[in-house]
Structure 1
Amino acid sequence: MQRYYSIIHNRETQADDVGELFDSAELAIQYGARVARDIANDPEHDSAAGTVVIVVDGGGAEIARHSVGRGGAER
């Protein structure tokens, strides 16, 4: 298992200090997509904020980028 981190960026950056353990990068990417969907479904979320969920590995390398509210993911 490797530790992966989610970074939420809109007008400011909120980094996950603890991270999550996943068996593969693909599972971490799926988790990041789920976080993005959860944020998009939050009634208090500002859809004009341009929020992005970035998934990084334990070494700090970006492995995925999920745009909140647009349903898409960039890798």
Structure 2
Amino acid sequence: MRRYYFPIIHNGETQADEAGELLGSAELAIQYGARVARDIAGDPEYDRRAGTVVIVVDSAGAEIVRHSVGRGGAAG
């Protein structure tokens, strides 16, 4: 198990993830990050113009992927 972090950029401001999640693989972390992005997009009060992004980061601080909220997938 490795710890992965999921900071969120919303309206240009970063919301850090201090606790992270213990997950068995980078693939599970990517899936978890996508689920977080879907949950945010599903909030009726979410501002779709906010340009929100969920970032998946490993315990060494390396960025694995970015999930754009409300855009249906990972960003490059």
Tell me whether the two structures share a fold, i.e. TM-score over 0.5: yes
- TM-superposition CA deviations, 1:13-54 (whole Å, max 9, x none): 111100000110000000000000000000111000000000
Which sections of structure 1, spanning at least 5 residues, go unmatched? none
Which sections of structure 2, spanning at least 5 residues, go unmatched? none
Please name the residue that 1:20 is paired with: 21
CA distance in 2, matches of 1:68, 1:15: 16
Alignment of 1:22-37 (within 5 A): 22-37=23-38
The two structures have a TM-score, normalised by structure 2, of 0.94
Alignment of 1:55-74 (within 5 A): 55-74=56-75
Amino acid across the alignment from 1:22:
L
Paired residue total: 75
SS at match of 1:35: helix
Amino acid across the alignment from 1:47:
R
The two structures have a TM-score, normalised by structure 1, of 0.96
Please name the residue that 1:3 is paired with: 3
Percent identity reads: 75
- Give me the CA root mean square deviation: 0.9
CA distance in 2, matches of 1:31, 1:72: 12
